Amino acid sequence: MSGDVDAEYCRLTKVCFSARFECRLLAHLARTSREFHKARISIALDDFGTGFASLTHLKQFPVDHIKIDQSFIRNLETDKDDAAIVAAVVGLGRSMGMKITAEGVENAGQAERLREAGCDSGQGYFYAEPTSGERVPWMIRGWSSCGQPEHPHQPNLRRA
C-alpha cells in the first residue's frame, strides 16, 4: 500500500455479495478482504440483514463493521419485530467486536432507540441530506467538537 494513504482510516464500505458468485470468486474475495484487513483497512458489511449480506459473510470475511439495513430502521419505533432484529444485530456485532451503524435514520425517535440499543453511529436524513462534495467542509465546520450536530434535541448517536 502506498505511503500516501493512512490505512487506519481507509474503509471498504461497499462490497456487494450475490448468490451467483462462483466458489472461485468467493475464495478470491475472501483472500482479498483478508489482505485488506492485514493492511488495517476496515471492512464494512453494508445492508446487513438483507439477502445480500448474511450471517455466513461474518465467518467468511474479516468484517469490522456492520451497517444495519434501513428496512429494519424504518419502522423501528412501531414494529416489535424490527426492534428485536436491530437489538439482535447490535448484540451480535458487539459480541464479535464490530462497530455498528444504522442506515436510514430519519427521526429523533429512531436515533434514540438505536442509541439505547448500543448502536455506534447512524446515517440518514435525520443527520443530513445527501450533498455535494464541495459542501462537506462547510458541514464539518458546523459540527461540535465531539462530531455531533449542534442541535440539542438530537440524541447522542454519532453520524456515520
Per-residue pLDDT of the chain (160 residues; tens, 9 = 90+): 445 555 444 555 444 444 444 566 677 778 888 888 888 888 888 888 776 667 777 887 888 999 999 999 999 999 999 999 999 999 999 999 999 999 999 999 999 999 999 999 999 999 888 888 898 888 788 775 555 544 444 445 666 6
Q: Is 105 helix (H, G, I), strand (E, B) or coil?
A: coil
pLDDT tens profile 90-123: 999 999 999 999 999 999 999 999 999 999 999 9
Asked whether the whole model's pTM tops 0.85, one would answer no
Report all structural domains of the chain as residue ranges with CATH numbers, in order of start: 7-159 (3.20.20.450)
pLDDT for position 82 = 96
Strands 11-12 and 42-48: parallel
CB 7 within 8 A of CB 38: no
- Helix (H) / strand (E) element for 44: namely strand 42-48
Of 8, 68, 77, the C-alpha closest to 39 is: 8
Q: Is 123 helix (H, G, I), strand (E, B) or coil?
A: strand
d(CA 154, CA 117) in angstroms, rounded, equals: 16
